[in-house]
Amino acid sequence: KAGVTQTPRYLIKTRGQQVTLSCSPISGHRSVSWYQQTPGQGLQFLFEYFSETQRNKGNFPGRFSGRQFSNSRSEMNVSTLELGDSALYLCASSPRAGLGTDTQYFGPGTRLTVL
């Protein structure tokens, strides 16, 4: 079974631009979560989607948004990029809507650099 895939793997943008990252979960998995990882802040939860609905949201500004499609693929968008948005963005999938027993499996991440 194929793992979680994320595209693109690397991205360089300039301040003020916007960016869209894509995540395809493991086949059959319906929950997708997004995380931002930086050296200073560590791993921070962005949001979680299940059945095209946002189930949970972390403490990030409205410039960060996401969506999930009917095939469970998810995209996240960051508008008006700031230097501090430079980070590794990780996507994770799990079978169901955030049950305690469900493991999350991560993709390889998208490394975003904002210049």
Minimum distance from residue 106 beta carbon to other proteins (Å) = 4
Q: Name which of residues 90 to 109 contact other proteins (CB under 8 A).
A: 90, 92, 96-109
Q: Which is nearer to other proteins, 73 or 105 (CB)?
A: 105
Contact flag: residue 59 with other proteins (CB under 8 A): no
Residue 85 as a binder of other proteins (CB under 8 A): the answer is: no
Shortest distance, position 61 Cβ to other proteins, whole Å: 18
Report the residue from 56, 71, 77, 113 that binds other proteins according to the rule CB under 8 A. 56
Residue in the block written with tokens 């996240």: 76
| Residue closer to other proteins, measured from CB, 60 or 105 | 105
Residue in 55, 60, 67, 86 binding other proteins, rule: CB under 8 A: 55
Q: Which residues neighbour 72 within 8 Å (Cβ) at sequence distance 6 or greater?
A: 24, 25, 29, 30, 32, 93
CB of 42 to other proteins, least distance (A): 5
